[in-house]
């Protein structure tokens, strides 16, 4: 397998500032400054593990380039683009729209490079230069909505890349699988009425955005049935994720027959993540990737492009990302030293209430499909 890999050191320079994780520091309120939870560490350490493990020697580097205004405007409105651009000129930068998505001076150029990185990953796959690809980009993108950034996301990297596949490569059907632990609301919104794009989101039920990603959100108009949400109970591990893959995701992909599958790949459903409460192991991510590649081989010549989203444990994210990229490339390198611990956590197997939640996602009654 030839696997493309997009990365640029400047992704680590996207400056989310000093926060107490999520909140701006506020000494009088007892909020002591620390790093913002969406800082460079997890992604930079993943990149470095790819090098140190030797996997990088098996990957084909794909250079990111900035997304053009035309590409960004396929997803976002002019007001959002201009606001980010204007605030990016300020010495202290600004916020992409919801007060939770800070960026530093020059943040526009880095966010455009992240979106363009996802575009280049899709391009490399569709042009046949590689079999599949992974774009390790920052800032993330799946929460960004047409009119504003959200949840650490500035531009919708995956949505912009999917639009590129439709507009430039002339694809008629593209599927997005979002396995970040949070709902992929931005990507869903970009294609909610669009029958050409199936968006599937596996996420912990009601974490972020609040009240988003419910089972009855199924698309609208021509796009009715082309949004699919699988909210999973807190505590879901490898068993639940693989059951969801086998009973919901794979059948939905088979029914839709995509010509390309794009993955919004967050690792915040891992057993070690500080921002959510799922229990997926690196072997879980490896197995999800294996299943997805098998389905892609059956449906679309194996064409899969992934773009990085969340994941906040700096010691564990690298091993999850390594497992995914090893699987894309068909190579094994280092073992995950955490695996004996996390795979031994009680409840990794599918639990009855998790099965019920996943089965309910399949069986959304027709009357709720609006």
Q: Which is nearer to ligand 9RB, 180 or 336 (CB)?
A: 180
Using CB under 5 A, pick the residue from 156, 258, 310, 318 that binds Zn ion: 310
User: What phi and psi, each to the nearest 5 degrees, are found at residue 196?
Assistant: -80, -15
Which of Zn ion, ligand 9RB, none sits in contact with 210, Cβ below 5 to 8 A by type? Answer: ligand 9RB
Of 136 and 299, the one with the shorter C-beta distance to ligand 9RB is: 136
Q: How far is CA 113 from the centre of its chain?
A: 16
Look up residue 48 and give its two tokens: 């470095």
138 binding Zn ion? (CB under 5 A): no
Question: Which phi and psi angles does 231 have, rounded to 5°?
Answer: -70, 130
What contacts 70, CB < 8 A, 6 or more positions away? Answer: none
208 touches, from Zn ion, ligand 9RB, none (C-beta below 5 to 8 Å by class): ligand 9RB
Comparing CB distances to ligand 9RB, the nearer of 187 and 259 is 187
Rounded Cα distance, 102 and 91, in Å = 13
Nearest to Zn ion of 71, 180 (CB atom):
180
**Interacting stretch for Zn ion, rule CB under 5 A, among 104-112, 214-222, 304-312, 317-325?**
304-312
Angle between helices 107-126 and 157-167 (to 10 degrees): 40
Among 66, 116, 149, 266, interactor with Zn ion by CB under 5 A: 266
Pairs from 344-351 (Cβ < 8 Å, separation ≥ 24): 345/237, 345/271, 345/279, 347/235, 347/237, 347/279, 348/237, 348/238, 348/239, 348/279, 348/281, 349/237, 349/239, 350/239, 350/240, 350/242, 350/243, 351/235, 351/239, 351/240
Residues that bind ligand 9RB (CB under 6 A): 22-23, 100, 140, 143, 151-152, 180, 182, 208, 210, 266, 268, 275, 309-310
Would you state the structure tokens that stand for residue 322, as one six-digit string?
């390594």
Q: How far is the CB of 350 from ligand 9RB (least distance, A)?
A: 24
User: Shortest gap between Cβ of 150 and ligand 9RB (angstroms)?
Assistant: 8
Q: What does the alpha-carbon distance between residue 82 and residue 311 come to, in Å, rounded to a whole number? A: 29
Nearer to ligand 9RB, 94 or 310 (CB): 310
164 is a catalytic site residue: no
Which of 101, 333 has the CB closer to ligand 9RB?
101
H-helix or E-strand spanning residue 261: strand 260-265
CB of 153 to ligand 9RB, least distance (A): 7
Among candidate residues 19, 80, 143, 183, the one labeled active-site is 143
Cβ 199 vs Cβ 191: under 8 Å: yes
Parallel/antiparallel/unpaired status of strands 94-95 and 59-62: unpaired
151 binds, among ligand 9RB, Zn ion, none (CB under 5 to 8 A by kind): ligand 9RB
Instruction: Give the span between the Cα atoms of 264 and 147, in whole angstroms.
Output: 20
Rounded to a whole number of angstroms, the minimum distance from the CB of residue 232 to Zn ion is 13
Query: Smallest distance, Å, CB 207 to Zn ion?
Result: 8
Count interface residues toward Zn ion (CB under 5 A). Answer: 5
Q: Considering CB distances under 5 to 8 angstroms, the limit depending on partner class, which of ligand 9RB, Zn ion, none binds residue 241? A: none
Residue with smallest beta-carbon separation from ligand 9RB: 310
Of residues 11 and 208, the one with the C-beta less far from ligand 9RB: 208
* Exposure class string for 129-160: b at 16+ Cβ within 10 A, else e: ebbbbbbbbbbbbbbbbbebbbbbbbbbbbbb
Cross-strand pairs, 79: none
Question: What's the rounded Cα separation, in Å, for the pair 149 and 143?
Answer: 7
Least distance to Zn ion, CB of residue 41, Å: 16
**152 binds, options ligand 9RB, Zn ion, none, Cβ within 5 to 8 A by partner type:** ligand 9RB
Name which position in 268, 273, 326, 336 contacts Zn ion (CB under 5 A).
268
- The rounded distance, in Å, linking the Cα atoms of 67 and 81 is 12
Q: Which residues are catalytic?
A: 143
Residues that bind Zn ion (CB under 5 A): 180, 182, 266, 268, 310
């Amino acid at each position: 397998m030839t696997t493309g890999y997009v990365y640029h050191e400047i992704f680590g320079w996207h400056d989310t500032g000093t926060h107490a994780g999520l909140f701006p520091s506020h000494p009088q309120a007892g909020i002591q400054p620390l790093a913002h939870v969406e800082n460079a560490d997890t992604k930079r350490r993943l990149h470095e593990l790819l090098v140190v493990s030797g996997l990088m020697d098996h990957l084909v580097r794909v250079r990111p380039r900035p997304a053009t205004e035309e590409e960004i405007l396929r997803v976002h409105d002019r007001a959002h683009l201009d606001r980010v651009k204007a605030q990016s000129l300020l010495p202290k930068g600004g916020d992409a729209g919801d007060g939770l998505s800070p960026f530093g001076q020059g943040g526009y150029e880095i966010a455009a490079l992240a979106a363009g990185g996802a575009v280049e990953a899709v391009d490399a796959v569709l042009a046949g230069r590689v079999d599949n690809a992974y774009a390790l980009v920052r800032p993330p993108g799946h929460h960004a909505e047409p009119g504003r950034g959200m949840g650490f996301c500035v531009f919708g990297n995956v949505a912009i890349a999917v639009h590129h596949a439709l507009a430039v490569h002339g694809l008629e059907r593209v599927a997005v699988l979002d396995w970040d632990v949070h709902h992929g609301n931005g990507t869903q919104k970009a294609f909610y009425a669009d029958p050409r794009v199936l968006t599937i989101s596996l996420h912990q039920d009601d974490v972020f955005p609040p009240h988003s990603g419910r089972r009855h959100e199924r698309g609208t108009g021509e796009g009715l049935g082309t949004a699919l949400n699988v909210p999973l109970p807190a505590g879901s591990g490898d068993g639940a994720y693989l059951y969801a893959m086998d009973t919901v995701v794979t059948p939905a992909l088979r029914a839709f027959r995509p010509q390309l599958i794009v993955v919004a790949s967050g690792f915040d459903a891992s057993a070690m993540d500080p921002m959510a409460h799922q229990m997926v192991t690196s072997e879980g991510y490896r197995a999800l990737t294996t299943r997805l590649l098998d389905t892609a081989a059956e449906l679309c010549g194996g064409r899969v492009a992934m773009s990085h989203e969340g994941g906040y444990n700096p010691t564990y994210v690298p091993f999850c990302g390594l497992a995914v990229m090893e699987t894309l490339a068909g190579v094994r390198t280092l073992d995950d030293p955490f695996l004996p611990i996390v795979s031994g956590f009680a409840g990794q197997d599918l639990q009855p209430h998790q099965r019920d939640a996943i089965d309910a996602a399949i069986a959304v009654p027709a009357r709720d499909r609006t």
